[in-house]
Amino acid sequence: MIETDTIAAPATPRGKSALAALRISGPAAFQITARCIQEKILFEKTPARYIQLFIAKDPITEKTIDQITAVKYSSPRSFTGEDMVEFFCHGGPFIVNEIHHALITAGARLAKKGEFTRRALLNRKIDLMKAEAIRGLIECNSEAEFLCAQKLYYSGNFASKIRNMREGLIEQLAKIENFIEFEEEQGGIKARQDDKEGIVSILKQIEADLTKREKIKTIEKGLRIVIAGPTNAGKSTLFNTIVGYNRAIVHSKPGTTRDTISETVLIKGHEVLLIDSAGIRDGTDDIEREGVVRSKEEIEKAHILIWVTAADRPFEEEELKELMNFKHKNTIYLINKIDKSEGKEKHFYLDTKKIKAIGISLKNHINNEQLMDEIGKRVEQINKDIEVPDLLLNARYDEIGRSLYNEIKLTIEHWDRAEVAANYLKSGITKIDEWLGKTNTEDIINKIFDGFCIGK
Ligand SMILES: Nc1nc2c(ncn2[C@@H]2O[C@H](COP(=O)(O)OP(=O)(O)OP(=O)(O)O)[C@@H](O)[C@H]2O)c(=O)[nH]1
Ligand SMILES: [Mg+2]
């Protein structure tokens, strides 16, 4: 499909930065740009894919806007497949606005969300799956999402992998249908067991991917690191140390923190939600008891738990009970306030339970670095343990994979009733068609592009 209008938009987010980029695409991209450049002839003569310095100006008032670099891409050798120009200017929002305004004044129109990529799709520069991969790359917040998006992006012809699976299912369907015809002549419908193997192996393939996906999903919204422990142990002090400012109230009175407090922090390049919680003890009032309930809920949801206890106080019964409850968790045990006492009894007790604790003084900065290293290592380990699925590389594929799995499972379960099995299998094939964008095409495309930003 050939678009007749020419679109323009900033390609970098609004805000102050060293550089900002803008893009223009469409049949009039070169003429419109030429009107916004002082060195019009030089621009027209500059070959495609050749970077050149220019002065951008307003096409009506001739006012100088900024010194820029611009690169032309001639159709079809561009991202959209149309004539395109990319500009780089100084990264001030005012300058970006002025250049954008100049392009609009000269005849371009403001691009809609994801319109450049949509044009690339319409012009067959990319397929639906590449468009989804681009969205994935832009949106990923975690290593897991990044690796999935990358796999999709670099898979070459990812759709052919899905088509192979579709063919596998069609083959099975043909077998069942043959069988129905053949058996009906003889008056009975009972599929043979040995024909089932092919479809069972497809089911297993999807199942393995769904398991990998589950793991990814648990950390997709970011890792949760929860600081918990008895009251007055130094939990809020630790929380403040990690976030880098006095976010939580620290006080010598036990029971200071009553609600959970959270902040996003970057640990070894990974975004992590750090949560401070109310000290665990038999609360003295309803509010404190509610706080303790919340702490326990947070402990349940934690990917990494940091248990803080104070060296100068013995273990309370409530704390020991809790310690045993979460032994299975990924836990870092801290014995804080070693400036006051060595906490020998606590170390000894934990040793008997084969638990290694770090002695620390948040006040005197003893072993703070060792602790930060340990947290970093655990965050990296969780990210390393992730296995990238073969096919279920984003939320849409996950959803389709799940329905496909159910249809194939039902097919297998009803294998002996060939007609019923054939119906389930047909509905599985419909799911694959949806995956490939053969059905509900417009809906799928709209869903993908809804998540894009303007200028992409
Ligand atoms: N001596 C010493 N005092 C500390 C250390 N770390 C924290 N404190 C003090 O211990 C008291 C309690 O600290 P918080 O960080 O509020 O403890 P918390 O575990 O959050 O307490 P709750 O919110 O009441 O459960 C404060 O007076 C801190 O200054 C330490 O390493 N050594
Ligand atoms: Mg506190």
Lowest mean pLDDT among 35-44, 116-125, 182-191, 406-415: 182-191
Answer with the residue of higher pLDDT: 198 or 23: 23
Per-residue model confidence as pLDDT tens digits over 83-137: 999 999 999 999 999 999 999 999 999 999 999 999 999 999 998 899 999 989 9
Question: How far is the centre of ligand 1, averaged over its atoms, from the C-alpha of 276 (Å)?
Answer: 13
Most confident of the ranges 12-21, 266-275, 381-390? 12-21
pLDDT band at 325 (very low <50, low <70, confident <90, very high): confident
Residue (of 125, 134, 130, 114) closest to 81 by Cα position: 125
Q: Is the distance from the beta carbon of residue 237 to the nearest atom of ligand 1 less than 6 Å?
A: yes
Can you tell me the mean pLDDT for 283-296? 88
Answer with the residue of higher pLDDT: 420 or 195: 420
Q: Is the distance from the beta carbon of residue 223 to the nearest atom of ligand 1 less than 6 Å?
A: no
Q: Is the distance from the beta carbon of residue 80 to the nearest atom of ligand 1 less than 6 Å?
A: no
CA–CA distance, 402 with 66 (Å, rounded to integer): 52
Question: How far is the centre of ligand 1, averaged over its atoms, from the C-alpha of 335 (Å)?
Answer: 12
Q: Is the distance from the beta carbon of residue 306 to the nearest atom of ligand 1 less than 6 Å?
A: no
- On the question of pLDDT at 176 being above 90, the answer is no
pLDDT band at 193 (very low <50, low <70, confident <90, very high): low
Answer with the residue of higher pLDDT: 102 or 329: 102
The pLDDT of residue 41: 97
Q: Is the distance from the beta carbon of residue 234 to the nearest atom of ligand 1 less than 6 Å?
A: yes
User: What are the DSSP calls for 20-84, one per residue?
Assistant: EEEEEESTTHHHHHHHTBSSHHHHHHSPTT--EEEEEE-TTT--EEEEEEEEEE-TTSSSSSS-E
pLDDT band at 253 (very low <50, low <70, confident <90, very high): very high
CA–CA distance, 148 with 153 (Å, rounded to integer): 9
Provide the 10 A C-beta neighbour count for residue 127. 16
- On the question of pLDDT at 138 being above 50, the answer is yes
Atom of ligand 1 nearest to the CA of 239: 15
Q: Is the distance from the beta carbon of residue 78 to the nearest atom of ligand 1 less than 6 Å?
A: no
Question: How far is the centre of ligand 1, averaged over its atoms, from the C-alpha of 30 (Å)?
Answer: 65
From the CA of 233, the nearest ligand is 1
The pLDDT of residue 119: 94
Question: How far is the centre of ligand 1, averaged over its atoms, from the C-alpha of 379 (Å)?
Answer: 25
The pLDDT of residue 188: 42
From the CA of 311, the nearest ligand is 1
Q: Whose Cα sits closest to atom 6 in ligand 1?
A: 234
CA–CA distance, 1 with 126 (Å, rounded to integer): 14
From the CA of 228, the nearest ligand is 1
Q: Is the distance from the beta carbon of residue 340 to the nearest atom of ligand 1 less than 6 Å?
A: yes
CA–CA distance, 289 with 294 (Å, rounded to integer): 9
3-state secondary structure of 309: strand
Question: How far is the centre of ligand 2, averaged over its atoms, from the C-alpha of 249 (Å)?
Answer: 7
Q: Is the distance from the beta carbon of residue 236 to the nearest atom of ligand 1 less than 6 Å?
A: yes
3-state secondary structure of 89: strand
Can you tell me the mean pLDDT for 437-446? 82
Q: Is the distance from the beta carbon of residue 339 to the nearest atom of ligand 1 less than 6 Å?
A: yes
Lowest mean pLDDT among 8-12, 365-369, 441-445: 441-445
The pLDDT of residue 245: 93
Residues 3 and 72: beta-carbon distance below 8 Å: no
The pLDDT of residue 328: 82
Residues 41 and 120: beta-carbon distance below 8 Å: no
Atom of ligand 1 nearest to the CA of 362: 31
| Mutational pocket test of ligand 1: of 226, 227, 236, the residue with most ligand atoms within 8 Å of the beta carbon | 236
Share of the chain above pLDDT 90, in %: 70
- On the question of pLDDT at 185 being above 60, the answer is no
From the CA of 279, the nearest ligand is 1
Can you tell me the mean pLDDT for 6-25? 95
Q: Is the distance from the beta carbon of residue 251 to the nearest atom of ligand 1 less than 6 Å?
A: yes
The pLDDT of residue 145: 86
User: What are the DSSP calls for 40-53, one per residue?
Assistant: HHHHHHSPTT--EE
- On the question of pLDDT at 186 being above 60, the answer is no
| Mutational pocket test of ligand 1: of 250, 316, 335, the residue with most ligand atoms within 8 Å of the beta carbon | 250
pLDDT band at 216 (very low <50, low <70, confident <90, very high): confident
Atom of ligand 1 nearest to the CA of 250: 16
Per-residue model confidence as pLDDT tens digits over 364-408: 999 999 999 999 999 999 888 889 999 999 999 999 999 999 999
Lowest mean pLDDT among 45-54, 197-206, 217-226, 350-359: 217-226
pLDDT band at 2 (very low <50, low <70, confident <90, very high): low
pLDDT band at 142 (very low <50, low <70, confident <90, very high): confident
The pLDDT of residue 1: 52
The pLDDT of residue 282: 81
Q: Contacts from 208-214 at CB under 8 Å and sequence distance 24+?
A: 208/389, 208/390, 209/389, 209/390, 209/391, 209/392, 209/401, 210/392, 210/398, 210/401, 210/402, 210/405, 212/386, 212/387, 212/388, 212/389, 212/392, 213/389, 213/392, 213/398, 213/401
The pLDDT of residue 143: 80
Per-residue model confidence as pLDDT tens digits over 341-358: 999 999 999 999 889 999
